[in-house]
Each structure stands twice: as structure tokens, then as C-alpha cells.
Amino acid sequence: MIIHQVISDTKEPASRMLRVRSFHMVLWGMFALIAASCSTGKEADADYIATIDQWHNKRLEALRSERGWLNIAGLFWLKPGINTFGSGQDNNLIFPSTWGVQQAGYFMLSGDTVSQVIATEGLVTSNGMAVKESIAFNPDSTRQPIFESGTLRWFVIRRDNRFGVRLRDLNHPNLKSFEGIDRFPVDAEYRVNAKWEPTPGKTIPITNVLGQTTQQPAPGTLIFSLNDVEYRLDALDEGGDELFIIFGDATNARTTYGAGRYLYVPKPGTENSVIVDFNKAENPPCAFTEFATCPLPPIQNVLDIDIKAGEKNYDHH
């Protein structure tokens, strides 16, 4: 019995050791899984940051491109009748002196149609073809012609009842001085899932920096929460596969542009939900040039919180 007791006593600690070792192995496995999960989360964060960085780089490329906002050199509003243009100071529309063309021709505004007449053959082209007399704006056309001469590009825009010539210079000094846009650190908290509340047939008044107010189609409202508080943003439909959001927040005129920022989000599918990523909030064109006609946030889209995500103010023009 003594021998049996001794054997039993020696076996018990061994079994306890096995149980403890097994328990430690289970714990180690759990820690490994947690570590792996954390590691995966960090990788996901890094991937997300890389995605936002990639979007931002494309945004900078677009600003620098021929159709970007950094090369805008002027916006000239037309009066009814003849509007002469050229580098000479006696023109109605005075183009940059570097062009060196004293009197290039004129624009004729008649009703809601703008025609252009060029004084010198071969001076101006459009789509690679020389032009002399042409229609510069037709209200029935979806795309208006772009005219080229040297480093200059111009075309006619319409803003409500006003018509203007927007001028680009592919050698604009802004292109050389541009060093990028400061922005907030990428923060996944500002990537929110929003409920889509359709409002078919609805329009809302949108006012631009010229003081013009027009009714714009607003097919729905995005409803989301930040810090357990619900917010709403009316979205605009400009065509394509994205919704356009003009919004303001408490950072405006402090760390972000004073007149609000823009955001594009994918249109909702059948599930009626949309990802709203404020890390992609961008400055309006008016932050880069005085010759833009930016729409302003409607009052219902001005949020009373700091949205510390996306682009900060750009105030170098």
C-alpha cells in the first residue's frame, strides 16, 4: 500500500504537469491566433492607407493634367454681340501677353449660341483641324469644342444665363509651383456605412460663388453616424456611376477650405447602403483658381462637427 501510495503521488504531479503544459499550449495557440488576427488587421489598415494614397496621387495627376485646375489662366464673361479677343489691351477679352497675338478675332454671343471668328488663317485649331469661323457653344451639344493656339486652350462655358470663355495656359506658373495638397492622416473612423434614403424626383437649390441659384436633382439622402450621432447629407446626381456631395463642416476656414469640400461616392445598389469615405474629401476648384464657378454646400449639408479627414486647405493661388 505504501508502494502504491508512492506511485500514485509520483503520477499525480506528472499528470498536473501534462495538464498545465496542455493548457499553456492552448493559451499559446490562442495568442498566436490573436497575434495573427492583429497582424492581419494591421495589414488591412496598411492596404487601406495605400488605397487612399493611390486615390490621392491620381487626384494630383488630374490637377496637373491638361484638363486640370492648375493651368486655368482666365474666365471672360461675354456680352451680347461682338467680343474681341487677343493679347492687345484694346480687346474686350485680353489674353496673356506671352501669346503675342494682338488681335485674334472675336466671339459673337447671340441668344444662347456663341460663334467664333478668327482673323488669321491657321492661327487656331480645334481637334487638330484649323478653324476660322465656327460655333463655340451650342445649347443642343453635349460637348463644346476646345480651341488651341500655342500653349493656350479655351472653350465656352454656360452658367445659368451667362456665357464665358475659360482659358488655359499649359505653361501656367501654378504648374511649376504646385507641391501637392496637405491632408489629414488617413483615419478609418471616417469611412462610414450610410443608409441610402431615395427621394425620386426631388431637387434642391444649389448656389454657386457667382450668386446664381439653380435647382439640381437630388435623388436621395445619405444617413450615417459619427460618434453615435446621426447625420444626413443630400446627394446630387451628375450622371455616371457616382453621387456628388457638397458638404461643409466645423473645420472650414480653419484647417480646410472656407467654402466647404466635395466628395464622390458610388451609387447604391439594391441593398440601399453606401460607403461614405471622408478620407477622399477634396477641395473645390475655387481653392486652386479664382476663375472657377464652384457650387456651395446647401445649408442642410453643413455639419456641426469636425471632419478631420481628407484634404486640408490649399491657399497658394
Whether pLDDT at 29 is above 80: no
Amino acid identity at 123: L
Reading the block at residue 3, the C-alpha cell is 508502494
Asked whether the predicted pLDDT for residue 34 surpasses 80, the reply is no
Task: State the pLDDT confidence band at 259, using cuts at 50, 70 and 90.
Answer: very high
Q: What is the pLDDT of residue 316?
A: 57
pTM: 0.83
Question: From residue 60, how far is each of 57, 63, 166, 183 by CA, in Å?
Answer: 5, 5, 21, 12
Tell whether the model's pLDDT for residue 2 goes beyond 90.
Answer: no
The pLDDT score that the predictor gives to residue 142 is 86
What share of the chain has pLDDT > 70, as a percent? 85
pLDDT exceeds 70 at position 21: no
The pLDDT confidence band at residue 315, using thresholds 50, 70 and 90, is confident
Q: How far apart are CA 311 and CA 309, in angstroms?
A: 7
Cβ-proximal residues to 40 (8 Å cutoff; 6+ apart), any chain = none
- Model confidence band, residue 15 (pLDDT cutoffs 50, 70, 90): very low
User: Residue 160: pLDDT above 60?
Assistant: yes
Q: What is the mean pLDDT of residues 259-286?
A: 95
Closest residue by Cα to residue 154 from 89, 78, 90, 102: 78
Cα angle: 220, vertex 214, 245; to 5 degrees: 35
pLDDT surpassing 60 at residue 257? yes
Percent of all residues in the chain with a pLDDT value above 90, rounded to a whole number: 83
Q: Determine the residue type at 139.
A: P
Confidence band, pLDDT 50/70/90 cuts, at residue 269: confident
The counts of H helices and E strands in the chain are 2, 19
DSSP state of 252: B
Q: Which residues, other chains included, contact 150 with Cβ-Cβ below 8 Å and sequence gap of 6+?
A: 99
pLDDT exceeds cutoff 60 at 287: yes
Answer whether residue 223 shows pLDDT above 80.
yes
The pLDDT mean for the chain works out to 88
Kind and range of the H or E element at 281? none
Could you give the residue ranges of the DSSP H alpha helices within the chain? 2-64, 173-177
Summarize the confidence of residues 190-215 as an average pLDDT: 97
Q: Kindly state the DSSP code that residue 208 receives in the 8-state scheme.
A: B
Q: Which three cell numbers stand for residue 267?
A: 451609387
Q: Give the residue among 205, 191, 188, 301 at the shortest CA–CA distance from 249.
A: 301
Q: Is pLDDT above 60 for 41?
A: no
What is the average per-residue pLDDT within 16-34? 39
In this structure, the number of other CB atoms found within 10 A of the CB of residue 107 comes to 25
As a whole number of angstroms, the distance between CA 276 and CA 195 comes to 10
